[in-house]
Amino acid sequence: MKRSPHFVIRYGLLLTMLILFGGILLILDRFEIRQRAAIDLIRCNGQCVAYIPRSNGKSVAPGDTLLLHRGSREQAFVVERTAQEPSYVVARLHPAGESAKAAQFLGPDSKTTVYLYTHSVKLRDLVFKKL
């Protein structure tokens, strides 16, 4: 029995589209995007004060270790104490490790904006929330 080109084109295209759609769904289900919050970090006398926005949902308690990112560099800081403000959590931090490495991380300025990764969001949630 001879197959016509019309049959192959019609169902071959449908099969190709289904495979592509399945691949897109697989990618959306497997990948996650990390959400980050901008934190203002102020250096004073070897310690730092971090202003962490309350809106990001990240809770901070004394004794916690925060891994802060600035560009391609990262540095761990330990929370000494916290204070609550209406829109910020103010945390006093000290470096978890060498102070020289922390000074290099912060740079010459006394105020720096760094990032704290708060949580991950599935790519499918982001896409389907927009639809």
pLDDT tens digits for range 98-113 = 766 777 777 787 888 8
* CA dihedral of 120, 126, 127, 128, whole degrees rounded to 10: 120
Is residue 40 located within the same domain as residue 89? yes
In a domain, 6, yes or no: yes
d(CA 100, CA 50): 19
Q: What tens digit of pLDDT does each residue of 31-74 get?
A: 999 888 889 988 877 678 899 888 877 788 888 888 888 888 88
- Give the domain extent around 80: 33-121
Q: Give yes or no for a contact between 44 and 115, defined as CB atoms under 8 angstroms apart.
A: no
The rounded distance, in Å, linking the Cα atoms of 43 and 97 is: 16
Q: What torsion do the CA atoms of 93, 94, 99, 105 make, to the nearest 10 degrees?
A: -20
Residues 68 and 18 in one domain: no
Question: pTM of this prediction?
Answer: 0.70
Q: Are residues 21 and 40 in the same domain?
A: no
* Residue 26, domain member (yes or no): yes
**Rounded distance, CA 70 to CA 26, Å?**
32
Number of domains in the chain: 2
Would the CA dihedral through 99, 105, 108, 113 be positive or negative? negative
Residues 60, 4, single domain; the answer is no
